[in-house]
Chains A and B, each alone.
Chain A
Amino acid sequence: MDKNSPLTESIFYILLAVRKPNHGYGIIQEVEQLTNGRVVLGAGTLYGAIQTLEKRGWITIYSEDTASRKKKEYIVTPIGRAAFDAERRRLAELLENAKIMEEYAYENLSSLLG
């Protein structure tokens, strides 16, 4: 799994969007909303990512009802969920360590003020 870490922004948001059953267009829309329009997934990017994630076993097809022309939905698997959590811990560590920067600035300021 090391090779796949850290997750790309696209993969991170796709995994998030399929926490519940979601289809291609739904994923694009949700990611766009979550990021206030900053991340708009291209159809080629999303298609490729879905193929990769399916191959890795991180997501799986939830439903495919071709008779009623229902769209193909995907959902995250436990392996995908584990990868997401690992990424989340990595990001939390980054944020935690980022505080050091502020603390240093604060200490400097207080020593200046005496």
Chain B
Amino acid sequence: MKTFRLYWDKDKEIKWLNEMAEQGYAMTHFFAGLYTFEKCTPGEYTYQIDFGDKFSGVSHNYREFMKENNIEIVQTWGLWIILRKKSADGPFLLYTDIDSSIEHYTKIRNKLKIAAILELFCFIMECIVTLYNPYMFPLVLLIGYLMLVIMNAAFKTNRIIADLKEQKGEKVAVSKNPSPALIAGLLLNAVSCGLMAFDTPEPIKITFHIVAILLMIYGIIDTFSKNKV
């Protein structure tokens, strides 16, 4: 059985994979959002997702270590490592203390931040391309959407880290920084103002403006909700 899904939140992905296993479908393969499942005894496996350091799969050391602990590496995809363990071999948790959980989520957040910045860069590039070739416009929307999704995932991870730090009794520095979405919105607003100078088709101008305004609104909300903590 094959299912197509896109996840940015690894906790949700784990939950889904474990629900599938509970129903008798064990995930065996992943390729670009396409999950392959095989039949298994309901609840035979427990899944977990780890985050590696390099794009080229996991180190020999890591593989051996997991094998020794009866953990199977089902699939690596970029930095994502999908692992499973036979439920009969006991409970399966990867990070069991606050310090290592903070480290784990910090690693995820930093990578999401890089991805968001790259998307922002692509977005601006595409915007410029659209000036000359209006047919590229759907791509702009898609990249803009992806950028928002990644930013949202980064903020959520940030909140998880803040909660963990609070649990540890560490004083969480309340961020007074404006949300990156706000900055992105302002930038895009500048781009769309620049568009006015050119002879750009009307629908493109309007959509640019709408996206810029949405980003700014989202950015303002996010800035406030972050600083409320």
Contact = CB atoms under 8 A, between A and B. Distances in A.
Contact of A25 (B61, B68, B96): B68
A95 B96 CA distance: 26
A98 to B, nearest CB: 19
B68 A48 contact: no
* Size bracket, chain B contacts: 20 to 34
Nearest to B99: A8
A41 B95 CA distance: 8
A45 B93 CA distance: 9
A41 B65 contact: no
Given A10-B100, A48-B100, A49-B100, A42 B68 contact: no
A114 interface: no
A48 B104 CA distance: 9
Nearest to A44: B94
Contacts of B97: 8-10, 45
A34 interface: no
A23 interface: yes
Nearest to B69: A43
A42 B62 contact: no
A44 B100 contact: yes
B109 to A, nearest CB: 16
Contacts of B66: 43, 47
B71 interface: yes
Contacts of A44: 48, 50, 94-95, 100, 104
